[in-house]
Structure 1
Amino acid sequence: MTDQVHMIIDCDVGVDDAQAIMLALAMPNVELVAITCVAGNVDVDKVCINTLKVLEVCDRLDVPVYKGATSAILGNIERAEFYHGQDGMGDADGIAGPDLTMIKQEVAAIALVRMVNERPGQISIAAIGPLTNIAIAMKLDPNFTQKLKNIVIMGGELEGKAAAFLTSEFNFTCDPEAIQIVLSGSHCPVDLLPFEVCTNYGFSSDFFEDLISHNSRKAKFIKAITAGSLEKDLRRAGQYIPCDLYAIASLVKKSCVTRRDHVHVQVELHGSLTRGKMITDWNKKVSQDHNINIITEMDMDSLKVMYSKTV
């Protein structure tokens, strides 16, 4: 029997975040408690709009949405329109604009603290964007992570092969200080899914084309928003890689992850070429405190089954 998951998704909704949300909503063992929005792939106002678009196509506008940080903790701004389009949703035509009055007035970090305090030990956070909101919540409530069930983070890199920057993955580059706050200060189990691991479990073009060929509103939605990013992935890697979807899958079904390596992880904050780079202390040179579970292997068959449920 699959365990019930009470999930908050903290995200910067672009093309893969949208599909990650759709996966969470499609799984019967998931209660999507809320979605908190953070600046990242696009600015946070566009993230809020995109979140509501996803909820609308899934007929789940009952899920509360909170607007969060507009920039990194130090005010830095990185964007990924080169992959997700100017609107973050592939600049797809024919997707109606949502009712923005549905965005809750409570600030995301404050809402995170409140929701976790209301349900101590129950909430899992899927952090699939920059970690600014979560870092702020940890500063607002020093016991915040002690009351979480667990966190899964999509971000970082193991081999310096992340597509967006020279040595660091996009989510880590957006707000390295927030990453360091979360990695060094969390008091709940933390799973981290690096970029290169996602690339090991890409979906073939045949599988993806079959997925979006379904005559459903959700399949047509995915087809519309992924047109540009699919082309980029196929040209670069020969497969489609919706990274954020894997993070949700790892929370939804534990057996989807077949290997985790326990290691101390930090992030570089100062290097002119390496700011935001994930540092894994495999040789125990810095610390004996192995604080992070790095997801290194996943079950491709399970991923395919779960991905198919989004449409």
Structure 2
Amino acid sequence: MRTQSGKKWLGLAVAAATLGFTQVASAESRKVIFDDDGFALAQWLAIKAPNVEVLGITTVSGDVWQKQATAQALRGVEIAGRPDIPVMAGATYPLVNSEKLTERWESLYGKLTWKGAWMKHWVEPTLQALPPYHGPDVVPDLPEGNATKKAESERAADFMIRMVHRYPGQVTIIATGPFTNLALAERLDPEFAGLAKELVYMGGSLNPQQTRKDQVAAEFAREFINSPRREFNLRFDPDAASIVLRSPWRHITMVPSDPSTDTEFSPELVKRLGSGNTPVAHMVRQNKGGFPLWDEIAVAVWLDPSLITKKAELFIDVNAQFGAAYGDVLSWTPGYEPGLGEQKNTVVQKVDVPRLENLLKQLIDRPQNPVSGKPLP
């Protein structure tokens, strides 16, 4: 559903107050780059948030192959009415890990719950539909219509390097997929991480516990019973994750799987969030839900840190040695870390779920530009 093009954006101070932010909006927008293996509600939240300048979307293979993630991002910015936001394609393959290597790992150490673009079948019956398996060059048609906008010719890593040099100390990078692009940027330019303002990432796990009684929530929580330190985003490219988490960022916020077990994109929440008249609300109504709010938490706590009700300061790394713990999260309280370049993370452990859901609703309903490219079906 389209909105009227004549609607104006609310003033920054009024919008910030409406959203309940604890920080006073400044005249200068908060600059952010989204690095992800797909495009969904989380990116729309950042694009629609007041006083936020999305410099670009970079894509990487993970849940889906990079080319499919790029197609989703291109259509996503069109639906947001922001075709001016550039989309840069990134890495297709992890630095070292591969589909064949993952299959070899499974033959030695057991089956993984989720393998993203390499997923051929579920190990056990599940409520979730199995995504179609295909190669890296196949880009399925999108149900919301394919984009008319094209990706930029610049590579993702080069774009991120260029932006942190243009705006030193001002660019937040929100990573909600594997870290391959970030590792490439750091290796290409050792100044990269230090020039960014901060890294906020959804990835890793410490000790997630089942807290909801929903059947779907239970399905996602059970994967951590025997492997509490294993999470897909970091497990897909462990070598990149270790490089990035040892890089000299000014500040790192880790959003592991732990707080997500308190959340679910339930049918009731889908109905509530999709009840508005914006194109993004229309897209939410088409969502079948059934997943935790992984990436949405990462964006929400960046927008409003007061949503965090429990956190810890820990040094974080990822096991990059091929073995039973390949891709598992390593953590230390300050003073216990080995001192091999590990960086301190602010680890989000719990969030205020009702306030989180209210923030999502407010952002989804904010006025926006009409959909560009093809109309929504």
Shorter-chain TM-score: which interval? Answer: 0.7 to 0.9
Residues of 2 paired with 1:93 and 1:12: CA distance?
A: 15
Instruction: Judge which range, 249-258 or 63-72, deviates more.
Output: 249-258
Does 2:346 align with 1:293?
yes
Tell me what 1:44 maps to. Answer: 66
Deviations 1:151-175 (A, max 9, x none): 1010001126776686311101110
Residues of 2 paired with 1:158 and 1:105: CA distance?
A: 38
Residues of 1 paired with 2:350 and 2:46: CA distance?
A: 21
Query: Residue 111 of structure 1: SS of its match in structure 2?
Result: helix
What does 1:229-268 correspond to in 2, within 5 Å? 230=289, 233=290, 240-268=291-319
Residues of 2 paired with 1:258 and 1:160: CA distance?
A: 16
Tell me what 2:151 maps to. Answer: 103
Residues of 2 paired with 1:283 and 1:47: CA distance?
A: 37
Tell me what 2:75 maps to. Answer: 53
Percent identity of paired positions between Structure 1 and Structure 2:
28
Q: Quote the offset at 1:93 in angstroms.
A: 6.9
TM-score (norm 2): 0.71
What does 1:1-311 correspond to in 2, within 5 Å? 1-2=24-25, 4-13=29-38, 17-77=39-99, 78-79=115-116, 85-86=131-132, 94-99=143-148, 102-159=150-207, 167=227, 168-202=230-264, 204-224=266-286, 226-227=287-288, 230=289, 233=290, 240-270=291-321, 272-282=323-333, 284-287=335-338, 291-308=344-361, 309-311=363-365
Contact 1:5 1:252 in 2 (8 A): no
Q: How many residues align?
A: 294
Residues of 2 paired with 1:256 and 1:2: CA distance?
A: 17
Query: Residue 254 of structure 2: SS of its match in structure 1?
Result: strand
Residues of 1 paired with 2:269 and 2:144: CA distance?
A: 24
TM-score (norm 1): 0.85
Deviations 1:183-225 (A, max 9, x none): 112332001000121122445542332222334432221232x
Residues of 2 paired with 1:42 and 1:264: CA distance?
A: 30
Q: Whose Rg is larger?
A: 2
Query: Residue 264 of structure 1: SS of its match in structure 2?
Result: strand
Structure 1: 5+ residue stretches without partners: 234-239
Q: Give 1:134's aligned amino acid.
A: L
Structure 2: 5+ residue stretches without partners: 1-23, 100-114, 123-127, 135-139, 210-219, 366-377
Q: Give 1:5's aligned amino acid.
A: R
Q: Identify the structure with the greater helix proportion.
A: 1
Q: Quote the offset at 1:87 in angstroms.
A: 9.1
Q: Give 1:69's aligned amino acid.
A: A
